[in-house]
Structure 1
Amino acid sequence: MRHLLTALLAATLLTAHADDPAPAEARRGFIAKPSGQIKADDGRVVWDFADYAFVQGEAPATVNASLWRHAKLNNEIGLFKVTDGPAGGIWQVRGFDLANLTLVDGKTGWIVIDTLSSRETATAAMAFARQHLGNKPVSAIVFTHSHADHFGGALGVVSAEDAAARQLPVIAPAGFMEEATSENLLVGTAMGRRATWMYGNLLPRNATGSVDTGLGKALALGRLGILAPTQLVEGDRQELVVDGRRLVFHNVPGSEAPAEFVIELPEFKAFCGAELLSHNLHNLLTPRGAKVRDALKWAGYLDAAQGWAAGADVVFNSHQWPVWGEARIRHFIAAQADLYRFIHDQTVRGINAGLNAEEIAEQMRLPQALQDELDIRGYYGALKFNVRAVYQFYLGFFDGHPSHLDPLPPVEAAKRYVQLAGGPDKLVAAAQAAFDNGDHRWAAELLRHAVLADAGNAAARELLAQSFEQLAWRAESAPWRNFYLSGAQEARGKAAPKGLGLASLGDLLQHVPIERFIERSAASLDPAKAEGVKLKVNLVFSDLGETYALAVENSVLRYRKGAADPEANATLTLPKAVYLKLLSGQVSAREALTGGDVQFGGNPLALGRFFGLFQAAPGNFPIVTR
Structure 2
Amino acid sequence: MPYSPKDATAATAAANRQAAAGYEMGDRQDFVNADRGLIAPLPEPLRADDGRVIFDASRFDYIADDAPAPDTVHPSLWRQSQLIRRGGLYKVVDGLYQVRNNDIANLTVVEGESGLVVVDCTANVEAATQGMAMIREHVSDKPVAAVIYTHTHIDHYGGVKGIVSAEDVASGKVPIIAPGTIASFDKHAIGENVIAGNAMTRRASYAFNSLLDQGPGGCVTCGIGIASLPGVTISYLSPTDPITKTGTKRDLGGLEFEFLYAPDTEAPEEMHIWIPQLAALTCAENANHSLHNIQTLRGARTRDARNFARYLDETLERWGDDAAVHYGPHTWPVWGNQEVTGFLESQRDTYKYIHDQALRLANKGYTPLEAAEEIELPQSLGRKWFNRGYHGTLHHDVRAVFTKELGMWDGDPVSLHPHPPVETARRFVDLIGADQVLAEGKRSIEAGDYRWAAQILHTLVFAQPDHQAARELQADAYEQLGYQAEGPQWRGIYLTAAKELREGVQAATFATASPDTVLAMPVDILFDYAAVHLIGDLAATADLRIDLHFTDTGQTWTMWIANGVLNARRGASDRTQLTVTGPKAALVGALLAPATAEQLARSGAITLDGDPTVLHTLAGLLDDFDPDFPIVVP
Q: TM-score range by the shorter chain?
A: over 0.9
- Tell me the CA shift for residue 269 of structure 1: 1.1
Q: How does 1:387-426 map to 2 (within 5 A)?
A: 387-422=398-433, 424-426=434-436
CA, structure 1 residues 577+583, in 2 after alignment: closer, same or farther (shift >3 Å)? Answer: same
- Asked if 1:169 is matched to 2:175, the reply is yes
Question: Which residue number in structure 2 is paired with residue 3 of structure 1?
Answer: 12
What letter is aligned with 2:42?
P
What letter is aligned with 1:260?
E
CA distance in 2, matches of 1:501, 1:95: 21
CA distance in 1, matches of 2:147, 2:272: 14
- Tell me the CA shift for residue 375 of structure 1: 1.5
SS of 1:408's equivalent in the other structure is coil
- Asked if 1:592 is matched to 2:600, the reply is yes
* Conserved? CA contact 1:225–1:509, under 8 Å: no
- Tell me the CA shift for residue 17 of structure 1: 5.0
CA distance in 2, matches of 1:537, 1:500: 32
Question: Which residue number in structure 2 is paired with residue 456 of structure 1?
Answer: 466
- Asked if 1:78 is matched to 2:84, the reply is no
CA distance in 2, matches of 1:61, 1:341: 34
What's the TM-score once normalised by structure 2's chain length?
0.94
Listed one character per residue, the Cα deviations across residues 334-391 of structure 1 (whole Å, up to 9, x for unaligned) are 1111111111111111101111011111111222222211121111111110010011
* Conserved? CA contact 2:548–2:587, under 8 Å: no
2:529 is matched with which residue: 514, 520, 530? 520
CA, structure 1 residues 123+61, in 2 after alignment: closer, same or farther (shift >3 Å)? Answer: same
Question: Which residue number in structure 2 is paired with residue 625 of structure 1?
Answer: 633
- Asked if 1:298 is matched to 2:304, the reply is no
Question: Which residue number in structure 2 is paired with residue 346 of structure 1?
Answer: 357
- Tell me the CA shift for residue 46 of structure 1: 2.7
- Asked if 1:140 is matched to 2:146, the reply is yes
- Tell me the CA shift for residue 48 of structure 1: 2.2
CA distance in 1, matches of 2:387, 2:84: 15
Q: How does 1:385-534 map to 2 (within 5 A)?
A: 385-422=396-433, 424-498=434-508, 500=510, 505-534=514-543
CA, structure 1 residues 119+581, in 2 after alignment: closer, same or farther (shift >3 Å)? Answer: farther
What letter is aligned with 1:507?
D
Question: Which residue number in structure 2 is paired with residue 257 of structure 1?
Answer: 267
- Which moved further from structure 2: 487-496 or 90-99? 487-496
What letter is aligned with 2:570?
K
- Which moved further from structure 2: 38-47 or 348-357? 38-47
* Conserved? CA contact 2:589–2:597, under 8 Å: no
- Asked if 1:553 is matched to 2:559, the reply is no
* Conserved? CA contact 1:35–1:49, under 8 Å: no
* Conserved? CA contact 2:187–2:522, under 8 Å: no
Q: Which runs of 5+ in 2 are unaligned?
A: 1-9
CA distance in 2, matches of 1:584, 1:120: 28
- Tell me the CA shift for residue 330 of structure 1: 1.5
1:577 is matched with which residue: 582, 585, 606? 585
* Conserved? CA contact 1:170–1:228, under 8 Å: yes
- Tell me the CA shift for residue 584 of structure 1: 5.9
SS of 1:492's equivalent in the other structure is helix
* Conserved? CA contact 1:185–1:516, under 8 Å: no
- Tell me the CA shift for residue 309 of structure 1: 3.3
What letter is aligned with 1:363?
E
What letter is aligned with 2:62?
F
* Conserved? CA contact 1:581–1:587, under 8 Å: no
- Tell me the CA shift for residue 253 of structure 1: 1.1
Listed one character per residue, the Cα deviations across residues 281-335 of structure 1 (whole Å, up to 9, x for unaligned) are 1111010011111111111112222232321211101100001111111211111
CA, structure 1 residues 129+270, in 2 after alignment: closer, same or farther (shift >3 Å)? Answer: same
- Which moved further from structure 2: 141-150 or 231-240? 231-240
CA distance in 1, matches of 2:93, 2:441: 55
- Tell me the CA shift for residue 10 of structure 1: 2.9
Question: Which residue number in structure 2 is paired with residue 186 of structure 1?
Answer: 195
Listed one character per residue, the Cα deviations across residues 401-452 of structure 1 (whole Å, up to 9, x for unaligned) are 2222211111111111111112x22211111111110000000001111111
* Conserved? CA contact 1:63–1:208, under 8 Å: yes
* Conserved? CA contact 1:74–1:217, under 8 Å: yes
CA distance in 2, matches of 1:498, 1:342: 37
CA distance in 2, matches of 1:611, 1:444: 42
SS of 1:10's equivalent in the other structure is helix
What's the TM-score once normalised by structure 1's chain length?
0.96
Listed one character per residue, the Cα deviations across residues 6-42 of structure 1 (whole Å, up to 9, x for unaligned) are 322332234x353441110000001111143223334
Listed one character per residue, the Cα deviations across residues 483-536 of structure 1 (whole Å, up to 9, x for unaligned) are 11111111113333157457x611222322222111111111001221211111
CA, structure 1 residues 164+117, in 2 after alignment: closer, same or farther (shift >3 Å)? Answer: same
* Conserved? CA contact 1:223–1:507, under 8 Å: no
| Percent of aligned pairs sharing the same letter | 38
CA distance in 2, matches of 1:538, 1:169: 34
Question: Which residue number in structure 2 is paired with residue 375 of structure 1?
Answer: 386
Question: Which residue number in structure 2 is paired with residue 106 of structure 1?
Answer: 112
2:213 is matched with which residue: 204, 210, 213? 204
- Tell me the CA shift for residue 579 of structure 1: 2.6
- Asked if 1:152 is matched to 2:158, the reply is yes
CA distance in 1, matches of 2:612, 2:592: 21
What letter is aligned with 2:128?
A
CA distance in 2, matches of 1:358, 1:322: 35
Listed one character per residue, the Cα deviations across residues 585-623 of structure 1 (whole Å, up to 9, x for unaligned) are 597234223221211111122221123211122211111
- Tell me the CA shift for residue 549 of structure 1: 0.6
Question: Which residue number in structure 2 is paired with residue 270 of structure 1?
Answer: 280
- Which moved further from structure 2: 492-501 or 518-527? 492-501
2:257 is matched with which residue: 223, 233, 247? 247
Question: Which residue number in structure 1 is paired with residue 610 of structure 2?
Answer: 602
1:321 is matched with which residue: 332, 355, 369? 332
* Conserved? CA contact 2:595–2:616, under 8 Å: no
Question: Which residue number in structure 2 is paired with residue 13 of structure 1?
Answer: 22
CA distance in 2, matches of 1:501, 1:362: 35
